[in-house]
Structure 1
Amino acid sequence: MAHIHLGEGTFPVWALVLWTLLGTGLISAVVYRVRKGGIETHQIALAGIGAAASFAVFQLNIPIWGGIHMNLTGLVGILAGPLLGALIALVVNIFSAALGHGAVGLLGANTIVNASEAIVAYYAFKALQGMDWDVFPSASSAATLGLSAGAFIMGAIIVVSGVNGSALPRGDLTIAVAGLVGLNLGVAVVEGLLTGLIVQFLASVRPDLVGLVDRDGREDAAGVTA
């Protein structure tokens, strides 16, 4: 949902280096936890399906204020878990950048944005389920929270980095970015409702996919946890 659509050379070099290092650090930590905890076969299948669905929806861009779209990262986080969700965010961004959807140099920044959506959505869903919320409100609220977090992180990255060649003072840039963040928050609500409907349906036919009933009778079958 939130995504930095700016082209190559938009961010100064120091910002590209900073976000690339932070993104690399995040993915390295995720890979370490995945290797340490292992992955079950059904989790790999969920990750593949989630990556394909996210990538397909991701390419449907609405050309408003730099471009807005859905990407199902909240749903991916809820189903695949925070670690695999972060890896899916990386894969989707790599393929999207290869198609010109966002600069290659912004892979680190965009991975941070989208991985945060999956991570926040997963833990919010688990927390709300622990409070005995029904599936639909917990999934829709969790996805909305995750996507909202991504929108704010996206805005912060742009404001902190600045935009090469922009005549806007930092204060005016902040106002402009705030408008973009607000627009993405509106889309987050829509995508959150859609996520809630999907998770509610899956819970009715395959509750193990959303962590309600594990294949072995244990909890947390939705994905690798942190």
Structure 2
Amino acid sequence: MAHIHLGEGSFPLWALALWTAVGVGLISIVVYRVRKGGIKTQHIALAGIGAAASFAVFQLNLPVWGGIHMNLTGLVGILAGPTLGALVALVVNIFSAALGHGAVGLLGANTLVNATEAIVAYYIFKTLLGMDWDIFPASAGAATIGLSAGALLMGAIIVISGVNGSALPRADLTVAVAGLVGLNLGVAVIEGILTGFIVQFLASVRPDLVGLTDRQHDDEEPAGVTA
């Protein structure tokens, strides 16, 4: 959902180096966890489908205040998990940058933003399920929180980095970015609700896809028999 729609050379070199290094560090941790823990086959399939859907939706950009759109990273994180969700964010950003949707130099920053959305959404979803929330509010709330975290991180990255060639003082830039973040927070709610409906449907037909098999087994476990 959040994405830095700035052209090449918009960030100073130190900022490009910083966010690229942080992004590479995050993906390195993700790859290490994948190599160490392995990946379930169904998660690979979900990640592939999620990447295709995310990329397709990602290209539908509304040219409002720098550009807004949905990208389903919260949904991908909930279904595929945090590690594959982060890798999907990287792949989607690479292909999007190749099509001119986002600068190549901002791959590190944008991957960091979108991977954060997937990771936060996954852990919030699992936490809410552990608190016995129903599927729809848990998934909708998790996706909204994850996307909101990405929007806030996007705003912070832009304000910290500054924009080359901008005549706005840092304070005015902060106000302008705050407006963009606020707009993205509104879109986060819409995408969160959409995510809730999708996850609720999947839970009704394939509960194993959203990790509900163990939970249902526990609910159906008969009480112990006493003599």
TM-score by length of 2: 0.94
- After TM superposition, give the deviation of residue 108 of structure 1 in Å: 0.1
Partner of 2:51: 51
Aligned to 1:20: 20
Q: CA deviation at 1:77?
A: 0.3
Task: Give a deviation string over 1:135-165, Cα, whole Å, max 9, x none.
Answer: 0000000000000000000000000000000
For residues 78-119 of structure 1, what are the alpha-carbon distances to aligned partners after superposition, in whole Å with 9 as ceiling and x for unaligned?
A: 000000000000000000000000000000000000000000
| TM-score normalised over the length of structure 1 | 0.94
The aligned amino acid for 1:143 is A
Cα shift at 1:41: 1.1
Q: Distance in 1 between matches of 2:46 and 2:153?
A: 26
Matched to 2:35, the amino acid is: R
The corresponding residue for 1:222 is: none
Whole-angstrom CA distance in 2 between matches of 1:19 and 1:30: 16
Q: Which residue of 2 aligns with 1:202?
A: 202
Matches within 5 A, 1:98-117: 98-117=98-117
Cross-structure match for 2:224: none
Structure 2 Cα separation of the partners of residues 186 and 38 of structure 1: 36
Q: Give the whole-Å Cα distance in 2 for the aligned partners of 1:213 and 1:103.
A: 42
Unaligned runs of 5+ in 1: 219-226
Q: What are the superposed Cα offsets for residues 13-57 of structure 1, whole Å, 9 maximum, x if unpaired?
A: 000000000000000000000000001111110110000000000
SS in 1 for 2:213: coil
The RMSD of aligned alpha carbons is: 1.0
Summarize the alignment of residues 134-173 of structure 1 with structure 2, pairs less than 5 Å apart.
Answer: 134-173=134-173
Tell me which amino acid in the other structure corresponds to 1:72. L
Q: Deviations over 1:165-190 (max 9, x none)?
A: 00100000000000000000000000
Distance 2:188 2:19 in 1: 24
Report how far residue 126 of structure 1 moved.
Answer: 0.3
In structure 1, the residue matched to 2:191 is 191
Larger radius of gyration: 2
